[in-house]
Amino acid sequence: MTALLEVRGLSVSYGGLRALKDVSFSVAPGECFVLLGANGAGKTSLLRCIGGLVRPVAGAISGNGLSLLGLRPSAIAHRGIAHVPEGRRVFPHLSVFENLSVSWLRRPGGPTLPDAVERIYGMFPRLAERRHQLAGTLSGGEQQALAIGRGLMNSPSLLMLDEPSLGLAPVITRQVFSQLNSIRESGIALLLVEQNASSLDLATRGLVLANGSVALAGSRDNLRDSAFVRRAYLGL
């Protein structure tokens, strides 16, 4: 089976400062791949690079077997790889409905805008209640739901999420994770970047980034059982 997303030997530098060194992994259809790492480990750089905002100095990225290197971020989004950025980044002065509608792409055979928006409202009833409210006035959890909903507007095959639990209360984090689990069960693969090791509950596989390189990779149980993860992330 070809991987949804394949990253090989990826290196990223910012003005001589190495952020990522030789990172390789792949995400298969329908799985949840978790990237764990501390602040500054290179997690966000990795997602920005896959999303097309940062050019790598070396390595290859392909989606469904086709190279994604050199594509504009919007073109990568159109290839079915949606990116929910760190800090949610909803458009604060646009309403909930407008936030969703700008993320919609007219495609032959694709859903109409009202259908696509209704589908998201079905998944997140809170957003339906607040459809005319400005996104900047939503609570953190609602904004996260909106950011995820925005990512799902064009029925991607892979949803990349950058620390969706950041700044949320534990109970809201659990809600977000359970929503992510149902999204995965609906067949959309997840690439989940987290510092929060409870995200491992969702994972099929994953890796741990430290100082820009892969410190550890494997199945969920491998990661959970490793002394490194237990010490650094689970506090055991």
Partner 1 sequence: MYILQLVIAGLQQGGIIALLSMGLALMFGVLRLVNFAQADFMMLGMYGVIVLGAELHTNFVVSSILLALPAFIVGMLVYQLVIRQVAKAKLASAPEHAQLLATLGLSLVLQNGSEMIWGATPRALPSSRSLQVWHLGGLIIDQPRTIGFAIAVLLGVAMLWTLRHTHVGRAVRAAASDRDAASYVGINVRRAYIVTFGISILLSVIVGGILVTYYPVTPQTGNDFILLMFTAVIMGGLGNVMGAMAAGLILGLVQSLSQLVIPLQLNTAAVFGLFLLLMLVRPQGIFGEVTRL
Binding site for partner 1 (CB under 8 A): 51-53, 72-74, 77-78, 82-85, 89-94, 98-99, 101-103, 105, 150-151, 153-154
100/207 with CB nearer partner 1:
100
Least spacing, CB of residue 11 vs partner 1, in Å: 22
Least spacing, CB of residue 174 vs partner 1, in Å: 25
Least spacing, CB of residue 86 vs partner 1, in Å: 10
Least spacing, CB of residue 185 vs partner 1, in Å: 23
Least spacing, CB of residue 202 vs partner 1, in Å: 21
9/92 with CB nearer partner 1:
92
Both tokens of residue 25? 């992994």
148/207 with CB nearer partner 1:
148
9/87 with CB nearer partner 1:
87
102/169 with CB nearer partner 1:
102
91/230 with CB nearer partner 1:
91
89/231 with CB nearer partner 1:
89
Return the HEC string of the chain: CCCCEEEEEEEEEECCEEEEEEEEEEECCCCEEEEEECCCCCHHHHHHHHCCCCCCCEEEEEECCEECCCCCHHHHHHCCEEEECCCCCCCCCCEHHHHHHHCCCCCCCCCCHHHHHHHHHHHCHHHHHCCCCEHHHCCHHHHHHHHHHHHHCCCCCEEEEECCCCCCCHHHHHHHHHHHHHHHHCCCEEEEEECCHHHHHCCCEEEEEECCEEEEEEEHHHHHHCHHHHHHCCCC
CB-CB neighbours of 123 under 10 Å: 16
Least spacing, CB of residue 152 vs partner 1, in Å: 10
Residue 163 makes CB contacts below 8 A (sequence gap 6+) with 43, 86, 193, 194, 195, 196
Least spacing, CB of residue 99 vs partner 1, in Å: 8
